[in-house]
Amino acid sequence: MAKLKRDKGLDNTLKVLKEGYLYTTNTRNRLNVPVFETRAIGGKPFVVLNGKEGAELFYNNDLVQREGMLPKRIVNTLFGKGAIHTIDGKKHIDRKALFMSLMTEGNLNYVRELTRTLWKANTQRMESMDEVNVYRESIVLLTKVGTRWAGVQAAPEDIDRIATDMDIMIDSFKALGGAFKGYKASKEARRRVEDWLEDQIIETRKGNIHPPEGTALYEFAHWEDYLGNPMDSRQCAIDLMNTFRPLIAINRFVAFGLHAMNENPITREKIKSEPDYAYKFSQEVRRYYPFVPFLPGKAKVDFDFKGYTVPAGVGLVIDVYGTTHDESLWEDPNEFRPERFETWDGSPFDLIPQGGGDYWTNHRCAGEWITVIIMEETMKYFAEHITYDVPEQDLTVDLNSIPGYVKSGFVINNVREVV
Ligand code: HEM
């Protein structure tokens, strides 16, 4: 077995932030190795795994621990203390079943219907606007979809504020490096939203409000763990938020999707004319564009990866962006090509923009199906239901900056309904 090569430096966090999504691939190329170790987040050692083989190891619960590995500041802002993302073992599997129990055919159809209906109902508003910033417009629209889908009560006048709070929290994964100007604002946003949701959990339990059975609010409020205990109301609010805050984050993919349609106009025509194209297009948006860069874990035992020994106790990351752009998995990975999903075998270890492995036993995203559904319906809406112009703006997607964005947010004007 060869000895792992290390990227020099006592703490490469700044370098990671500077090179962004390309840091891991650049470093593998620089060192000319398939796997390397680096120091980050206060100088802690991390071995960077990537590709299908890397993902298979990373999602092996016997080899890899996830609990305790997310940076504290990200837990405090993005996920919430004690969130499903932060626990392992029996407790995780028990609570994850609750999340997955929401993903029924009926609930998935409902989110599809809500997305379609709410975009259509929003047409007149967009027609009347001089400019529509799609990033901003979709975060508000998805806040309506998410709150209704989860069965929580949100007054129309509160939607804008909730959308803004969600946006602030979602953006807080820039807290990766520790120093982050918006940290305080993120924590305050989280406190406001947790208060609002905890109140609804308490009122549901008391029987003062009656969310429909099968909704997240109802199921979370009434759930008991494997020991027969209900969730503490604050903890319950935190994980209830985890059923729809990430749904609102799909606005980033929406802006990326319109960016892709703009750069590849033929795809708009295909979405209109080919029944399955919106699906392939949405998968390619998730693969191609930069969102989640990598995910952290820790080796429980020694194991081998591509001829190198990864020692027990070392930090690990799975290189999400590197895997979705791995040349050995994706032909011409830096080309946007939805057709590649005609022959994709559905492996749980290569298309991992929302994590990989198994939905029930690993930390793989509980909302992946919802994400694809919302993207399909939204892309169909923008391709078929309206026409618009794309004025001069900065459409850069900077891979050196985490989180990734279309710089302008993607602005459109002259929106007209297709009749
Ligand atoms: C977990 C990404 C949408 C709920 C995750 C993970 C990622 C992710 C990377 C962690 C995987 C891991 O640690 O191995 C995304 C992205 C989304 C999205 C990029 C779209 C913008 C959603 C939606 C929902 C959702 C729509 C809910 C309806 C969750 C939950 C977890 C999770 C509950 C924790 C699962 C666990 O720890 O077992 N997501 N997600 N996500 N996601 Fe998503």
Q: Whose CA is nearest to atom 9 of ligand 1?
A: 354
pLDDT in tens, 69-99: 999 989 999 999 999 999 999 999 999 999 9
pLDDT in tens, 339-372: 999 999 999 999 999 999 999 999 999 999 999 9
> Residue 179 pLDDT > 60, yes or no?
no
Distance between Cα 405 and ligand 1 center (Å): 18
Q: How confident is the model at residue 183 (pLDDT cuts 50, 70, 90)?
A: confident
> Residue 159 pLDDT > 90, yes or no?
yes
Q: Is the CB of 354 under 6 A from ligand 1?
A: yes
Q: Which atom of ligand 1 is nearest to the CA of 239?
A: 33
Tally of structural domains, the chain: 1
Pick the closest to residue 79 from 163, 169, 154 (CA basis). 169
Task: Return the pLDDT at 352.
Answer: 98
Q: Which residues pair with 413 in a beta bridge?
A: 389
Most confident range (mean pLDDT) of 2-6, 72-76, 389-393 is: 389-393
Q: Is the CB of 250 under 6 A from ligand 1?
A: yes
Task: Return the pLDDT at 1.
Answer: 80
Distance between Cα 249 and ligand 1 center (Å): 10
Task: Return the pLDDT at 164.
Answer: 96
Q: Is the CB of 364 under 6 A from ligand 1?
A: yes
The percentage of the chain sitting over the pLDDT mark of 70, rounded to a whole number, equals 99
Token pair 């591509």 in the structure block, residue? 306
pLDDT in tens, 24-61: 999 999 999 999 999 998 899 999 999 999 999 999 99
Q: Is the CB of 367 under 6 A from ligand 1?
A: yes
Long-range contacts of 396-399 (CB under 8 A, 24+ apart): 397/256, 397/259, 397/289, 397/290, 398/20, 399/20, 399/21, 399/22, 399/290
Q: What is the CATH number of the domain that holds 365?
A: 1.10.630.10
Q: What is the rounded radius of gyration, in angstroms, for the C-alpha atoms of the chain?
A: 21
pLDDT in tens, 304-353: 999 999 999 999 999 999 999 999 999 999 999 999 999 999 999 999 99
Q: Give the span between the Cα atoms of 201 and 103, in whole angstroms.
A: 20
The percentage of the chain sitting over the pLDDT mark of 90, rounded to a whole number, equals 94
Q: Is the CB of 99 under 6 A from ligand 1?
A: yes
Q: Which domain holds residue 395?
A: 5-417
Distance between Cα 366 and ligand 1 center (Å): 6
Token pair 């929003």 in the structure block, residue? 122
Task: Return the pLDDT at 388.
Answer: 98
Q: Which residues pair with 49 in a beta bridge?
A: 318
Q: Is the CB of 247 under 6 A from ligand 1?
A: yes
Q: Whose CA is nearest to atom 7 of ligand 1?
A: 354
**Residue type at position 248:** I
Q: Whose CA is nearest to atom 37 of ligand 1?
A: 85
**Residue type at position 39:** R
Q: Give the span between the Cα atoms of 402 and 313, in whole angstroms.
A: 27
List alpha helices for 130-264, DSSP H. Answer: 134-150, 159-170, 183-206, 216-222, 233-241, 245-248, 250-263
Pick the closest to residue 26 from 46, 42, 50 (CA basis). 50
> Residue 181 pLDDT > 80, yes or no?
no
| CB-based burial, 148-177: b 16+ in 10 Å, e otherwise | bbbbbebeeeeeebbbebbbbbbbbbbbbb
Pick the closest to residue 327 from 12, 9, 25 (CA basis). 25
Token pair 């710089």 in the structure block, residue? 407
> Residue 174 pLDDT > 80, yes or no?
no
> Residue 121 pLDDT > 70, yes or no?
yes
Distance between Cα 42 and ligand 1 center (Å): 26
> Residue 84 gets which letter from DSSP?
G
Distance between Cα 363 and ligand 1 center (Å): 8
Q: Is the ipTM reported for this complex over the cut 0.95? A: yes
Q: Is the CB of 79 under 6 A from ligand 1?
A: no
Task: Return the pLDDT at 156.
Answer: 96
Task: Return the pLDDT at 57.
Answer: 98
Average pLDDT over residues 113-130: 98
Q: Which atom of ligand 1 is nearest to the CA of 286?
A: 19
Q: Is the CB of 371 under 6 A from ligand 1?
A: yes
Q: How confident is the model at residue 171 (pLDDT cuts 50, 70, 90)?
A: confident
Q: Is the CB of 61 under 6 A from ligand 1?
A: no
Q: What is the mean pLDDT of the chain?
A: 96
Return the best residue to mutate from 349, 354, 375 for the ligand 1 pocket (most ligand atoms within 8 A of CB): 354
Q: Whose CA is nearest to atom 16 of ligand 1?
A: 354
